[in-house]
Every structure is written in structure tokens, then in C-alpha cells.
A = this chain, B = another copy of it.
Amino acid sequence: MDTFELKKVGLKATLPRLRILEIMERNADRHLSAEDVYKALIDAGEDVGLATIYRVLTQFEAAGIVERHNFDGNHAVFEIAKGPHHDHMVNVDTGHVIEFFDEEIEKRQRAIVEAHGFDLQGHSLVLFVKNRT
């Protein structure tokens, strides 16, 4: 049960939160918008409000349970925070999202930030790609 997962981060184990967490886990390989989660729950016969999805996903983000991304500037998508950090490649033809990790890039980022006298808090890297013709 995910109940413990929620209590662990100080969130009451309410039904909507459990359902949303289930959806996110069941779609661990995808990036879902708030609307996507909402539709999935409505389709499953749950009685939930879109506002709750937004509120809960924001709480999950703060708790480190999910990550929020803005691949396009129009709407946010969420993915469950599974294991190690990774960045994303978006296929502009299909919309598909591919995950990748490159230690070299991570290392350079840290070096650059150091050199400017800052601490790195986080980063967002998205590569926009096309199928090779």
C-alpha cells in the first residue's frame, strides 16, 4: 500500500492522494499532465476534481514524489520521481519523450556554476530532436 509512502512525507493518506499516486506509478514511463491524471481517474469512476489534481501534484512535487517539467511553455507534465536523475529528449515529430543521462554534461554544469561563484540548485535540459531523414 502507498499509505506509508504518503505518511512518510507528512501527507495524510486520503483517497484522492492515493489514487493519484497509483496513476503516477502505473504510468512511471510516461509524462502526464494534470488533465491526463484527471481523465484517468474520471474514467476509472472516481469522483475527483481537477483542482485537487493540481493541488496534490504540487504537494507531491514539494515532497519529491514527482517531478514537474515544462517541455513546451503551455502546460506542465509530471512524472514519478523514479531513481536517478535524468534529462529529456523530445521528438518534435511525434511528441515522444526519451530519457537520458550524461555524466559529462552533469560534471560540466557543476564546473560552470562553480566558476561563476554559485551553488547549483537544479537544472532543466531538454534536447529537441527529429527522426533522421
A-side residues, CB < 8 A to B, are: 68, 70, 72-73, 76, 89, 91-92, 98, 100, 102, 104-105, 108-109, 112-113, 116-133
Contact = CB atoms under 8 A, between A and B. Distances in A.
Contacts of A92: 121
Contact of A129 (B91, B113, B129): B113
Contacts of A108: 102, 104-105, 108
Main secondary structure of the interface of A (DSSP, over half): strand
A132 B109 contact: no
B117 A109 contact: no
A119 B132 contact: yes
A73 to B, nearest CB: 4
Q: Which of A102, A118, A128 has the most CB of B within 10 A?
A: A118
B105 A129 contact: no
Going nearest first, the 8 A-B pairs with the smallest beta carbon separation are A118-B129, A70-B73, A121-B128, A122-B128, A119-B130, A124-B126, A123-B127, A125-B125
Given A76-B73, A125-B123, A126-B123, A117 B132 contact: yes
